[in-house]
Amino acid sequence: MSIYKACDIRGVYGSDLDEEIAERLGGAVGERIAGRDVVLGSDLRPSSSPLKWAFARGLVSHGAQVVDIGVVPTPVVYDAKDRLGTYAAVMVTASHNPPEYNGFKLMFGDRPVTPEDIDALAKAAEETGPTSRGSYRTAPALEPYAESLLAPWDKLTPREVVVDAGNGAMWWLGPMALQRVGLRVEPLYCLPDGAFPHRHPNPAVATHLNDLQAVCARLGAWGAAYDGDGDRVIFVDENGRVLAADRIFALLVEHRLADDAGGRVVYDLKSSSVVPEAIERAGGVALAERSGHAFIKARMLDEQAALGGEISGHYFFGALGRDDALYATLMLAEILDKRGLSLAAAMEGVPSYPITPDLRLPCAPERADAILSDLEATFADLPRSHLDGVKIQFADGWALARRSVTEPVITLRFEAKSQESLEAIRSRVMTASPGLQRIASEAGS
């Protein structure tokens, strides 16, 4: 499988990705930014250090002015780019993937990278361009980020919160920041270890958070679980229940739009209907966008939106111009403080509808295209959107079918206002295409 994804570069270290590839990619980025400056950071994975040095060699040998800010969470890289006024930013990380993976998150100018940017870098990395000597220096980043982030927040009621860093990049910054605003922090897996020995670095899978759930239930405390590079967060309530990111986002929307009636909010098209309903109820403008960090962030910038959210646990803030998991945690703590509620009680006011996870079925691209055409024809009389595949809006729910651009898979997702309606919608869609019926049968779905 290619290391070149829609929004970043990622693969298994030692087979898909090594120092030679990293140096060539650094050279391609150096040529792309044409002698300008670039912030460079990395996460804690054992392979991040050798990959970062190789990438830095490529950057410097192709004229880039490198500012190395060390081992940091991804939001700190974006903050340093803004604070130092550099043209580009690179984070060496595989985000929420297992420890054997690694890769690169990139940003040029004020925009996130596009699939076209990634394609161009892939081609440039295969060529040997002219070299010109750049420069390398280091700069502090963690403390300046913390000071800037915490400046707007008042002291909060000293209630207890469990911080599960998963041994990842938020190991120090998360507990420290929440303690500074007055919370009592119970650390869980907050010693740095890029092998992630205690849990998978993806907190968006509820079964990865069993230990956090147990601690929260035992202490009667709410919890925040961060991914490997610290830019995504999933929350757990005082009863030990893992909370869906889109329902948390609905809570943030209500809070943020209270001071910005008419504000625009970008949301992941895979989100529950709870999200657009919350946006409209708060007087905002709901803007659906395809899943993916770069797509949500670009739409945020284009629309000058107040907020953005992904079901993976990315939360974007217009005030920052980017996503930030720690900022989201602070905002949630502020909401609970102002309402005088536990997280479990606050979530009682957020609806919950029956919704499936992504249902991934093996499917060749040409078969997937035929299935999408069948669905278009069958449901031509219903409202549909085409941000990513086809999303069909029924009277009491919706269905989404998408073709993967990176692997031979078609993905389905369903939601309705009741379990009975969910099953009815799912049945209608699954029987609408003979091709879909066949691959579902083959997959045993």
Report the C-alpha gap between 428 and 381 in whole angstroms. Answer: 14
What is the β-pairing status of strands 160-164 and 184-188?
Answer: parallel
CA distances from 348 to 104, 157, 237, 342, 413 (A): 39, 21, 11, 10, 25
* Two structure tokens written together for 400: 């989404």
SS3 call for 115: helix
* Two structure tokens written together for 249: 């986002």
List the end-to-end C-alpha distance of the chain, in Å, as a whole number: 25
Report the C-alpha gap between 322 and 422 in whole angstroms. Answer: 35
* Two structure tokens written together for 148: 């800037």
Provide the β-strand partners of residue 111. Answer: 108
Report the C-alpha gap between 370 and 36 in whole angstroms. Answer: 46
Catalytic residue status for 314 = yes
Stated as kind and residue range, the H or E segment containing 192 is: none
Beta carbons within 8 Å of 111's beta carbon, 6+ residues apart: 298, 301
Check if the beta carbon of residue 285 is closer than 8 Å to that of residue 262: yes
Candidates 199, 232, 255, 314; catalytic one:
314
Catalytic residue status for 10 = yes
Stated as kind and residue range, the H or E segment containing 137 is: strand 135-138
- Closest-CA residue to 92 (of 40, 142, 57, 16): 40
* Two structure tokens written together for 53: 């040095």
Candidates 42, 48, 95, 271; catalytic one:
95
* Two structure tokens written together for 202: 């993806």
Catalytic residue status for 208 = no
Which positions are annotated as active-site residues?
A: 10, 95, 314
